[in-house]
A and B are shown apart, each in its own frame.
Chain A
């Protein structure tokens, strides 16, 4: 305080007193809202360079992905209709549900290109809602994990217990509807081994399915949903079940069936014997057999490559278009004449 402002004779004490009582806020960058900040402006230059950058980055990635996907050789064979004998075509459902009919079905597939081992065998189902709410929850992870929780069948209805009340292991609709078509392959009458080991994710095998849990009372009810399980093999070894129980995201899905660990040469004829057991006919689902090699990117899937390529080229195109636009109709940065009140100086609204 300047002495002029403080005419009272109390002197320094008074000043100190007043200073103490001062309600003046303390300065801080936070309260004064003056935190250091960078202020990016989305100028045309930045827009153009961002687009160019994305284009330059994405096109090579897209090309690489596409080429990786291109190496992959894939044979897809739809057999749900063809594996029904001619006389049963009108009543596929009766055919598949009957226990008397012969469900063996054979065909030959031609290898289009050399397929290096391992060749993966997939089955593909369609219109199969593994992601249906009733279906997804119909399992009991605790029961699958450990023998001690054999009695746990919460969520498993209607496949929780047998008629007399003893628990089904593994319980629930998912296990009950286990896929049970089988495939065997031969080239010139020489059977090709199908390796069904190690087709499930390691984490599932090790932790989600117990090595001391054995199937019990499984598929004993009136309705048979699908495959039966060997009661002497623990669940952690039942890889078909483990694969099946990692429910798919979409109603059309592939699941790994096994591996052929020999190379297949181009134009080789593979004779495939399919045991067509699984009922997809009641809900008009397709069944496909897929033989595929892999690359680093996985199976044949052009989507990522195409997407990268498309986005990359779109960005490059936009960058070019903007450059042209920028040359034709440049916009000076910070031109005050763009301010709305400078545009119509008369109008106040």
Chain B
């Protein structure tokens, strides 16, 4: 596959930063060892005769060769201080991440899609915390934002708007403005069918006959039923017929006509046959055959489609449907009222995110038609520039049209998409739409998803300009390349200037729309910087007509150029390269093929689950891992530093402060479990609050919790605590400690110090927790208890092995003194005093956002969502039931659809009708776009 790339292995940014921290720790280790080594070289001296430094002493302590002493001590110290490197950290992180994936993400009921029976799936456990830092989302359109389901939703006929449905975007707007929408209860008779989601008692079931001007309704319905290129398939009954259409829009329109009582059931080479109901009088059904004289097909410059047909009674009519601006240019001068009203409706529909088409007709006299038809036949049979000539001929008859009304088709967004996008953008995430569709379609969807609104300034860089088109007509590849290049360069500069001005002077939000052909040049190294600068200034970016490879290029542009964390989401094979290129790839699973899912790191069933995946799981994972890492850093640093201070008092000899077993088990048993519990259960705010305050997510984008400053604070307190541990325990131990006057040895003091370290470090974890479950209690008290159990047993027995019984009975000796209890109370409290003061002051004077949110909701009990989840499984709401039913229907193969006629699948559809095999793949169109331009410009 030309668009495939080698599969990258992904590591999270946090882990890469962790590597830096580990490197720093290695640096610290080296530094500490160096100090110790130099000290040992200076210290060693024959005057300490009790060390037995006579003639044949081993090299490590040979005073006559201090350099060798230093070098060898260095190695000793490296093993002694090696605890500073948290080796068990990686294991713990892996465990935590694995459980987060397998238990939390995969089993989250909030991300379970009942209709397709798909739970979320984490395909890698490497990237959980990356989800908490995403700043850019690159989204495919079809199948990701939309359901790829066109539904006839509203219409405007003769200046009156019909249809009672409410689109997602209207709902979202109302929610944002706090308006209540009076949702009309749908009557029971509402028809459930794919492509038709319309209800209005004024026109359904023949009721249109009672409207003011029934004639115009007939024109409207006939236009829908006649002016198309749909082929009916299967049984000729309204229930079983299947419409084969180039685009789902067309099928939706014909389906709509069927439900309005104009059932298109058969097409012959020259006729279209309709079964019309209620035309003459209510309840009357008759079959009518219309003769189709000419079809003026759709193409992207015409943006309209017409048929000329003859009624059985001989009436000649041209029906035309197309984009509003195209139709309005060609209307007859009469009936301004309808034009004005329809225009208003069109704008309404448009802002509701619906895809609109205008319908118009023109009665033809026989003479006019005959004259025109001659020219048409001529044009059709011409050998050169046929398409151009046909367009010109069509132009001659498509004029003086009479406006009937308009249709509004909902390119059905997936449930909750606008709301999700709104939430994500409030979370500081920028969403880019990368689609193979046409610019109009892409902009339309961007409006529908609330990515672009009328307050934004649109910056458009397109190859659909006259200059470029002219150059393309000449067909000189070098010239085309030069023209596009110049135009892109010019546009980029212009947009950048405007952007600077608008953004900084007027504070206006910007939206960038760019098409694939321009993108190809804009991604050129010489423009890349400008493009990046421009796009980073924009709140939303829409790239249309892009090839899969370009999707990946844009992703890497941001990933590498801006060094921000990127996420790609898509559902089809054309998104694979983009999914692989981004830091995190998300596949939409469920209905489509598996390629995207196989390439992805996470698979979810619906776009809206991204909200849970990022704001809840990602955020938590990020915060948890930051805590785990910094805590690990702290506990090992504290432990090692106490050892380090001791080195200064041992003549830099590298004597251990702690028994070998203490040191080995410190990370494995005495402090291991609580930090894993922290990594699994810590929750600063509940899931619902995390979604209610999406701004909290910004802390992850800014990497607030794993900055060097944060690490520095932990390091400072580790330093402070280690000093307390070492100096308090040793200083306090100098004299006899009970009335027997007996004196402690080294191992008594070290056991004391270690006890304090274990207790303090575990309690410090408790202070770092935002929510404390019984697992926290269990693991922390368990760890402390484990230490005491261990030391009771370990110091209570003598082994027959040949080893030093250093700690024999130390704990019992200690416990027979008041020193033990007084120190045990004093040292942890003094050690934690600093942290406590810091945490208290920090919350008091410089609170994090999450802390404020915690405080706002401090009295609320976490709602347990159990009942809510049980509901979902058993009862589907009618809407859900409907979409479930639709999901079960066999799906069409063509995936890319534009607005109404603007379907890329169009060409291949007719080709296949003509018996020419054209492979129709999801990415076909996008690729063709890029291949075509590359062929012409011989860029590759």
Give chain A's interface residues, CB within 8 Å of chain B: 1-2, 4-5, 7, 18, 21-44, 46-47, 50, 54, 58, 61, 65, 118, 120, 122, 128-142, 145, 152, 154-155, 157-159, 173, 176-177, 199-201, 203-204, 207-208, 223, 225-226, 243, 246-256, 259, 279, 282-284, 292, 294-301, 303-304, 307-308, 311, 315, 318, 331, 333-336, 338-341, 346, 348
Given contacts A26-B107, A34-B862, A298-B738, 18 further A-B contacts (CB under 8 A): A4-B881, A24-B114, A24-B119, A27-B869, A32-B108, A32-B109, A35-B775, A38-B771, A43-B843, A47-B840, A133-B655, A138-B52, A141-B805, A223-B54, A249-B745, A251-B651, A297-B818, A298-B819
A195 to chain B, nearest CB (A): 11
- Residue in contact with B742 in the complex, picked from A44, A130, A201, CB distance below 8 Å: A201
Contact A311 B736 (CB under 8 A): no
- Residue in contact with B881 in the complex, picked from A5, A25, A141, A159, CB distance below 8 Å: A5
Contact A131 B650 (CB under 8 A): yes
A136 to B428, CA, bound (A): 60
- Residue in contact with B836 in the complex, picked from A7, A50, A308, CB distance below 8 Å: A50
Chain B residue numbers with a CB within 8 Å of A128 are 50
Contact A304 B819 (CB under 8 A): yes
Known: A25-B107, A208-B805, A208-B808. A37 touches B681 (CB 8 A): yes
B876 at the interface (CB under 8 A from A): yes
Contact B822 A42 (CB under 8 A): no
Contact A129 B651 (CB under 8 A): yes
Question: Which residue of the partner chain A has the closest CB to B841?
Answer: A47
Contact B829 A311 (CB under 8 A): yes
A102 to chain B, nearest CB (A): 22
The 5 A-B pairs at the shortest CB distance, nearest first, are namely A299-B735, A334-B855, A246-B745, A203-B809, A37-B771
Chain B: interface size category: 35 or more
Contact B858 A333 (CB under 8 A): yes
Contact A134 B649 (CB under 8 A): no
Contact B118 A38 (CB under 8 A): no
Per-position contact with A for B839-883: 1 when CB-CB < 8 Å, else 0? 110011101010111111110001011100110010110101110
Contact B695 A341 (CB under 8 A): yes
Contact A254 B734 (CB under 8 A): yes
B527 at the interface (CB under 8 A from A): no
B57 at the interface (CB under 8 A from A): yes
Question: Which residue of the partner chain A has the closest CB to B55?
Answer: A158
Known: A47-B844, A173-B50. A299 touches B741 (CB 8 A): yes
Give chain B's interface residues, CB within 8 Å of chain A: 45, 47-52, 54, 56-57, 61, 76, 103-104, 106-109, 112, 114, 117-119, 192, 428, 507, 620, 646, 649-651, 653-656, 681, 683, 687, 693, 695, 728, 730-746, 748-750, 770-775, 798, 802-805, 808-809, 812-813, 817-819, 822-823, 825-826, 829-830, 833, 836-837, 839-840, 843-845, 847, 849, 851-858, 862, 864-866, 869-870, 873, 875-876, 878, 880-882, 884-885
Question: Which residue of the partner chain B has the closest CB to A199?
Answer: B742
Contact A137 B804 (CB under 8 A): yes
Contact B808 A25 (CB under 8 A): no
Known: A296-B738, A303-B732. A334 touches B857 (CB 8 A): yes
- Residue in contact with B735 in the complex, picked from A135, A226, A254, A279, CB distance below 8 Å: A254
Contact B802 A259 (CB under 8 A): no
Contact A4 B878 (CB under 8 A): yes
Contact B49 A256 (CB under 8 A): no
Contact B109 A25 (CB under 8 A): yes
Contact A282 B741 (CB under 8 A): no
Chain A residue numbers with a CB within 8 Å of B771 are 37-39
Most A CB within 10 A of own CB, among B108, B654, B772, B804: B804
Chain A residue numbers with a CB within 8 Å of B744 are 246, 249
Contact A203 B856 (CB under 8 A): no
Contact A132 B650 (CB under 8 A): yes
- Residue in contact with B746 in the complex, picked from A24, A30, A203, A247, CB distance below 8 Å: A247
Known: A5-B885, A132-B655, A301-B732. A254 touches B52 (CB 8 A): no
A300 to B866, CA, bound (A): 63
A7 to B881, CA, bound (A): 10
A97 to B660, CA, bound (A): 38
